[in-house]
Structure 1
Amino acid sequence: MKNLTNTFGALSDPIRLRILALIAHETELCVCELVEALELSQPKISRHCQSLNEANLIKSRRQAQWVLYSLATDIPDWTKRAMDSAIEGVKLDAQYVTDCDRLKSVDRPPVRCAPKEKEAC
């Protein structure tokens, strides 16, 4: 039951949903990119990423001075379906388009797992 409440608790916050949607779109993002895209402070983004990490919805890796976040892949099917549905819902919100537009103009760190082309959201 704790896993269930952690997952839905993490998915209940609009900022965390926006973070998930951007990470899903880009495959991997660092905190500095999220700060610029969401126009929020670094401590606030880090706290939200920590919550998502604790709920096992994202994973992190350190590369030089950057901490890069990607969606967790080793999660139960029900969790993946819930997260995918939440991300699809965020994509219907006008704020998502604004976040994506800001992300396109961010100076990207030189480290990436599998960068995607900068494409329209």
Structure 2
Amino acid sequence: MYDPLLLYKALSEETRLKSLLLMQSQGELCVCDLMGSLSISQPKVSRHLAELRKHDLVLDERRGKWVYYRINPNLTPWVKQILDLTLKHNLPLIESELKCISSLPRVNGVSS
């Protein structure tokens, strides 16, 4: 069972909320995607992602020099539903970030 207090604490911080919604929308993103779209430094992005990972909200995978993050597929159904509903009803919250991600240069499908 997932602790609702941990979820709502994670969602209460703008960078973490936007990161989760971007991952919910895009499937998976590398740290560089989040840095570019959120206009924040790598250490700051990594700190927020570490917090999300600590609470099992996201999973990470290293591929070469890049680390990719995605929503944990093993989240309880009510947590998945909250993320789905939040994305569906608040898309304008991440609209500019989504545009930024779509305009990032890609090399072989990977952000550069």
TM-score (norm 2): 0.84
Look up the SS of the partner of 2:104 in the other structure.
Answer: coil
CA contact (8 A) 1:60 1:70 kept: yes
| Greater mean alpha carbon deviation, residues 53-62 or residues 103-112 | 103-112
- Give the match for residue 25 of structure 1: 25
CA contact (8 A) 2:24 2:83 kept: no
CA contact (8 A) 1:17 1:87 kept: no
Distance 2:89 2:107 in 1: 28
Identity percentage of aligned residues? 30
- What is the 5 A alignment of 1:5-24? 5-24=5-24
CA deviation after TM superposition for structure 1 residue 39, in Å: 0.6
Structure 1: runs of 5 or more not aligned: 113-121
- What is the 5 A alignment of 1:70-109? 70-93=70-93, 96-108=94-106
| Equivalent pairs, count | 110
Look up the SS of the partner of 2:98 in the other structure.
Answer: helix
Amino acid at match of 1:43: P
Amino acid at match of 2:29: L
* CA RMSD, 1 decimal: 2.0
Identify, as 1 or 2, the structure richer in strand: 2
CA contact (8 A) 1:21 1:90 kept: no
Structure 2: runs of 5 or more not aligned: none
Distance 1:30 1:13 in 2: 20
TM-score (norm 1): 0.79
